[in-house]
């Protein structure tokens, strides 16, 4: 196990009705805030009314910025930065999914600097300060409600890039499982797949003596496999949503990668796909992960065998470990299909061939590799995308 430091400062307010108390949380930081949200689901569901009533009750004033799109755009981030500076806002309250939260994090970093926040996404410098952020989560998926990450798409060149910084851990996040009841089935499927992906990115590691976190990751994957059909069948199953929502947060709040080094190549490759084609991140991961696994299988067959047997209940065959490993991958693909997602690029209706371009962008023109379990150069990323075709 590797040395590590771990601190996750995000206060979680979990359970029914917490959105009605969000005003008091916000007021602890500022009485003049940016209320940030997406394309309208929070208005249809009535969440907007409950949150704004709570802000009013706590004496908090706000400026609104809605319209965050899935794969959140840099241009809206710039608008948010301008509003924060003009109105001297002291906190950003993100009400929505990963896209809204990621956009809020970008605004939080941009509001305290003179230059363009996009530079951080290009790796030019690192943030030294940020406005505080609070969230009301409406979809278990990205884990941004308690993560150091933000992923933004620059419409100029359709480049989707990430920043990781402890400065943008949300100060608090409201997790009310009831808020997920209104999710369309497709978004449920994408969310579950993203959570699975966050667990698998961490699971496939070269670090040894990490059996404790292996077991935690396996247990979380099994929990998802068990619960996903329940919420798809009954979208109002509060008990199932509760566990799934909490699993989504813990999958990405950095607890489960303590002492180990995750891979993250599949995420980097997927970000090229959703950057160019504007597809849902989870749908892209359902395509990339099986192909990545087939590509790297022989790097550590034992790890794949352990995963197949423990997570997917594949019967052990000591004389044919490769078959055991491949059976696990097949079961994972069947699981994604059962959620209604495809596992090939063609299923995303991607027909034109921009595979070489994506492999090039992903590896900075072959100047860097992606992934840690196996380091992938441009040719390897291209092969994975070809496998996914």
284 contributes a contact to ligand NZQ by CB under 6 A: no
CA 310 and chain centroid, separation: 24
Q: Tell me which residue has tokens 């040395």.
A: 3
Asked whether 195 and 158 are in contact (CB, 8 A), the reply is: no
Q: Which of 201, 333 has the CB closer to ligand NZQ?
A: 201
Q: CB of 149: closest distance to ligand NZQ in angstroms? A: 3
When binding is defined by CB under 6 A, the residue of 25, 30, 103, 144 that contacts ligand NZQ is 144
One character per residue 329-358, x = contact with ligand NZQ (rule: CB under 6 A): ------------------------------
One character per residue 147-186, x = contact with Zn ion (rule: CB under 5 A): ----------------------------------------
Given the DSSP bridges, would you call strands 159-164 and 149-154 parallel, antiparallel or unpaired?
Answer: antiparallel
Cα–Cα nearest to 251, from 282, 294, 272: 282
Cα–Cα nearest to 133, from 36, 24, 43, 250: 36
What is the DSSP-derived secondary structure letter of residue 376?
A: B
Residue 20: strand, helix, or coil: helix
96 contributes a contact to ligand NZQ by CB under 6 A: yes
CA separation for the pair 27, 21 (Å, rounded): 11
When binding is defined by CB under 6 A, the residue of 178, 194, 237, 268 that contacts ligand NZQ is 194
183 contributes a contact to ligand NZQ by CB under 6 A: yes
Q: Which of 35, 376 has the CB closer to Zn ion?
A: 376
Q: What is the largest CA-CA distance in the chain?
A: 68
Q: CB of 68: closest distance to ligand NZQ in angstroms? A: 6
Asked whether 138 and 179 are in contact (CB, 8 A), the reply is: yes
263 contributes a contact to Zn ion by CB under 5 A: no
What is the DSSP-derived secondary structure letter of residue 97?
A: S
CA separation for the pair 14, 241 (Å, rounded): 12
When binding is defined by CB under 5 A, the residue of 102, 178, 194, 214 that contacts Zn ion is 194
One character per residue 256-275, x = contact with ligand NZQ (rule: CB under 6 A): -----------x--------
When binding is defined by CB under 6 A, the residue of 150, 223, 266, 363 that contacts ligand NZQ is 150
When binding is defined by CB under 6 A, the residue of 12, 179, 283, 327 that contacts ligand NZQ is 179
């Amino acid at each position: 196990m590797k040395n590590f430091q771990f601190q996750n400062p995000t206060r979680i307010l979990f359970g029914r009705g917490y959105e009605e108390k969000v005003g008091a949380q916000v007021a602890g930081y500022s009485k003049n805030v940016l209320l940030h949200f997406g394309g309208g689901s929070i208005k249809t569901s009535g969440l907007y009314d409950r949150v704004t009533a709570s802000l009013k009750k706590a004496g908090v004033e706000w400026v609104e910025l809605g319209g965050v799109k899935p794969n959140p755009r840099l241009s809206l981030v710039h608008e948010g930065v301008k509003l924060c500076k003009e109105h001297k806002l002291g906190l950003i309250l993100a009400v929505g999914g990963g896209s809204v939260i990621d956009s809020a994090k970008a605004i939080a970093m941009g509001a305290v600097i003179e230059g363009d926040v996009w530079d951080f996404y290009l790796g030019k410098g690192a943030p030294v300060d940020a406005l505080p952020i609070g969230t009301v989560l409406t979809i278990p998926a990205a884990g941004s409600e308690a993560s150091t990450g933000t992923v933004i798409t620059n419409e100029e060149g359709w480049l989707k890039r990430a920043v990781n910084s402890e400065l943008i851990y949300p100060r608090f996040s409201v997790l009310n499982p009831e808020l997920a009841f209104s999710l369309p089935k497709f978004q449920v499927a994408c969310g579950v797949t993203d959570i699975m992906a966050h667990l698998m990115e961490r699971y496939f590691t070269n670090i040894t003596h990490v059996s404790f976190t292996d077991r935690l990751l396996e247990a979380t994957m099994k929990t998802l496999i068990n619960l996903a059909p329940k919420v798809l069948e009954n979208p109002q199953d509060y008990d199932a949503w509760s566990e799934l929502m909490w699993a989504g947060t813990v999958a990405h709040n950095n607890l489960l990668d303590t002492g180990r080094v995750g891979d993250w190549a599949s995420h980097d490759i997927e970000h090229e796909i959703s950057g160019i084609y504007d597809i849902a991140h989870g749908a892209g991961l359902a395509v990339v992960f099986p192909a990545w696994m087939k590509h790297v299988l022989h790097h550590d067959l034992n790890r794949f065998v352990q995963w197949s047997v423990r997570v997917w209940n594949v019967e052990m065959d000591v004389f044919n470990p490769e078959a055991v490993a491949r059976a696990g991958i097949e079961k994972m693909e069947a699981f994604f299909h059962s959620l209604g997602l495809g596992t090939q690029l063609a299923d995303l209706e991607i027909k034109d061939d921009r595979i070489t371009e994506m492999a090039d962008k992903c590896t900075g023109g072959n100047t860097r590799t992606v992934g840690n379990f196996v380091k992938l150069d441009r040719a390897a990323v291209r092969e994975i995308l070809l496998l996914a075709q």
